[in-house]
Amino acid sequence: MFPTLDPLLHSELRLAVMSLLISTEEAEFPYIKEQTGATAGNLSVQVDKLSAAGYIEVEKTFKGKKPCTICRITPTGQKAFEAYIQALKAYLNITK
């Protein structure tokens, strides 16, 4: 009846991050921070969780002399995001 909602995605900030990455394919940490309005600390933690789950990959490079953290969604992450949307539909009463 009500499928479980992937707890990794059922989180406001992580969902926002995934939402951004689904459409941009690649985004830098400060950009995600600005778009989501999150604090750096919170974002850092949530990015780690998504990365640990294999939903995104995180590349640490440099932009000139400044460190630069780039995030990309993985195929696993895309599938999980799609599945989450499908599961949500059971809750949102599309059965009107």
Partner DNA sequence: ATAATTTGGTTTATAAAATAAACTTGTTTA
Partner DNA sequence: TAAACAAGTTTATTTTATAAACCAAATTAT
Q: Whose Cβ is closer to DNA: residue 66's or residue 96's?
A: 66
Q: Spell out, one character per residue from 29 to 58, where the chain touches a second copy: x when CB under 8 A holds, - when not.
A: ------xxx---------------------
Total Cβ atoms within 10 A of residue 28: 14
Can you give the length of the chain in residues? 96
Instruction: Based on the shown chain and the rule CB under 7 A, indicate whether residue 68 belongs to the binding site for DNA.
Output: yes
Smallest gap from residue 96 Cβ to DNA (A): 25
Among DNA, a second copy, none, the one that 39 touches (CB under a kind-dependent 5 to 8 A) is DNA
Range in contact with a second copy (rule: CB under 8 A) among 16-24, 40-48, 55-63, 68-76: 16-24
Q: In sequence order, which ranges of 25-90 are alpha helices (DSSP H)?
A: 29-36, 40-52, 75-89
Taking a C-beta distance cutoff of 8 angstroms, is the pair 52, 59 a contact?
no
Round to whole Å and give the CA distance between 88 and 3: 8
